[in-house]
A and B are shown apart, each in its own frame.
Chain A
Amino acid sequence: MEIEKHIKTITPAPAAVESHLSKRKNIWKKIVQQKTLILMSFPFLIWLFIFKYLPLWGWTIAFQDYRPGLPFSEQEWVGWKHFRFLFQDEAFFRVLRNTLAMSIINLVLGFVTAITLAILLNELRNGKFKRIVQTISYMPHFLSWVVAASIISYALSLENGIVNIVLQKLHVIDEPILWLGVGEYFWGIIGASEVWKNLGWNTIIYLAAIAMIDPEQYEAAEIDGASRLQRIFYITLPSLKPTIVILLIMNLGNILETGFEPQYLLGNPMNLDYSENLDIFVLKYGIAMGNFALATAAGIFKTVVSFIFLFSANYIAKRLGQARLF
């Protein structure tokens, strides 16, 4: 008895080993138990790996003089050559300028118009009218960019375009203008098109945030004699601040993703200097001209800069004590 006791006190290890073993056994047991769940998800994990992670391997192309058809081991490595070429290319800087300019215009216009519309919608007292306006304003979001571009280019056309007709009737212009033929107008056209297409859609998240505001705040303000505008500026807007910050961070992460479709579809040889953005540059060099390496380098540049933007915006928001993405 005593010996047994003794052994027990000096060798507590077996218990620990056993619990470790049983933990491992437990995991195996769980895996066997949950084999259906594993079967239900692992095929898609493989899919995820192939379609989302494997392309990252393709980044190596940017450091090679890539020749299609050759096996990987026979490709010639050239280091940063393509990146150096990019940063000496005047066309690349023009493309970068266009991308950033359109991004910033879209960002500012998009935020201001969506927040304004959400607040104005919230001020509508007639529920039915409000719903109809909302439904109509969501419509363009569901149209493809091809359809949108078709409609927009017709509205801007020289002969029967509604924009020229209205502006002439209002005596803003004397002669009809070929809007898509003048490069300087292009950024504005893209900004307006984005607003037209996504204005209603972008209000959804703000309206949801407004719906969360405690109605007692408004009632108290009304009793205190606050006007409509005062209530908007001192209650609604401040309550929207966290939502605005989060969306701003997410959008800053996409600052180089101006989108590709509107620029590509509305671009033409006459506005090329202002319409060509990074994505079109990649497409032109990569697919049309077959320079895969250079196009990949430009793509990598875009992804890395986006990442830096996203993390810095998130960090700044954190430092300022604001809501943040992660």
Chain B
Amino acid sequence: MKQIVKRWRMRYTSWGDMVFDVCNYSLMLVLCVVMLYPMLNTLAISLNDANDAIRGGIYLWPREFTLYNYEYVLKENTLLNALLISVLRTVLGTAISVFCTAMVAYVISRPEFVFRKFVTIAFILTMYFNGGLIPTYLLMRDLHLIGTFWVYIIPGIIGVFNLIVIRSFIEGLPNSLIESARIDGAGEFRIFLQIVLPLSLPVLATVSLFVAVYQWNSWFDVFLYNSSNPNLSTLQYELMKILQNTNATMSGKTAADAFANAHADANTVTPSSIRATMTIIASVPIILVYPFLQKYFIKGLTLGGVKGE
């Protein structure tokens, strides 16, 4: 105890200083609780027996532990299919988008490129306007993209913000590497593929995270373009439908009825437990990945913010 007091005396020059720190640290702890609690609570409910959970009183720990909710969700064909589509669009969408965005970023980072200004401005301009919901919808219809899987991928191939972030990074690479490869006779595409891409891994990690999160979290394009095609539904969209059911009826009991009509087996699962379980499944992949990329996305975000042009 004495030692602690001594250490504190050494660290703080004034009472005000100490009070400030005590308040600051407590406030940060409260903040962490507010950020984490809803998630942990949802996890506890998803791991608790559904009928028991209705009684309430579950906070951070399940009372009657079971994995049945997960078993139920993963056995349901529509939900399993939605999970697969979610994974597929995330993997494919991210790979295609990151590769294409990086390629264009490389081209507009070449100072000698004739159309450099034209291409750059054409892309950046689109940050300041958009056609709006209806014209975009009609375009997708005219392109026959509605009702297909590709409506998730093609409209988002290149993100302008990501483009700027990658370009800024490539511009910072030592030009001598690219020049010497060119003298050795490598073509532009090979330089991009074998020199620039491997060197850009940190920024590609950042952008991949952004795109993957976007793809994984999307539900509006499913709702807008593919709501009549259950085979192309995604996890987020299925969760959204459950949520809308509960919201529309509000009071817990009628929601349970509405849900029971849609999903049989109402004795062992409840809308509340299904909601919690799907919420966890829909967020766990991201929560597991983002802390490891923290260093990169912070850098990427500041890079894009500073050099936004």
Contact = CB atoms under 8 A, between A and B. Distances in A.
A204 B295 CA distance: 11
A6 interface: no
A210 to B, nearest CB: 12
A159 to B, nearest CB: 6
A72 to B, nearest CB: 11
A143 interface: yes
A235 B243 CA distance: 47
16 contacts: A34-B112, A37-B113, A41-B119, A44-B157, A50-B143, A124-B24, A136-B31, A136-B32, A142-B287, A143-B287, A144-B218, A152-B38, A227-B17, A229-B20, A279-B133, A299-B134
Interface residues of A, number: 94
Contacts of A238: none
Given A117-B31, A137-B35, A146-B236, A178 B290 contact: no
Contacts of B115: 38, 41
A295 interface: yes
Given A52-B131, A137-B35, A178-B250, 7 more contacts: A133-B32, A147-B217, A160-B56, A181-B250, A283-B133, A286-B137, A300-B132
Interface string B123-144: 1001011111111111100010
B236 A36 contact: no
B219 interface: yes
A150 interface: yes
Interface of A: 27, 30-31, 34, 36-38, 40-41, 44-45, 47-48, 50-59, 61, 68, 117, 120-121, 123-125, 129, 132-140, 142-147, 149-155, 157-160, 162, 178, 180-181, 196, 200, 204-205, 208, 227-229, 253, 260-261, 265-270, 279, 282-283, 286-287, 292, 295-296, 299-300, 302-303, 307, 310, 326
B65 interface: no
A181 to B, nearest CB: 6
A229 B21 CA distance: 11
Contact of B17 (A47, A208, A228, A296): A228
Nearest to A207: B298
Interface in B185-236: 187-189, 192, 213, 216-220, 224, 236
A153 B247 contact: yes
Contacts of B39: 139, 151
- For chain A, what secondary structure do more than half of its interface residues adopt (helix, strand, loop), or is it mixed? helix
Interface residues of B, number: 95
B132 A146 contact: no
Q: Which of the listed residues A117, A124, A151, A300 has the most CB atoms from chain B within 10 Å of its own CB?
A: A151
A124 B119 contact: no
A123 B137 CA distance: 48
Interface stretch (B1-9, B71-79, B103-111, B261-269): B103-111
A265 B240 contact: yes
Contact of A34 (B42, B113, B143): B113
Contacts of A55: 130-132, 135-136, 139
A138 B39 CA distance: 13
Q: Which of the listed residues A51, A117, A139 has the most CB atoms from chain B within 10 Å of its own CB?
A: A51
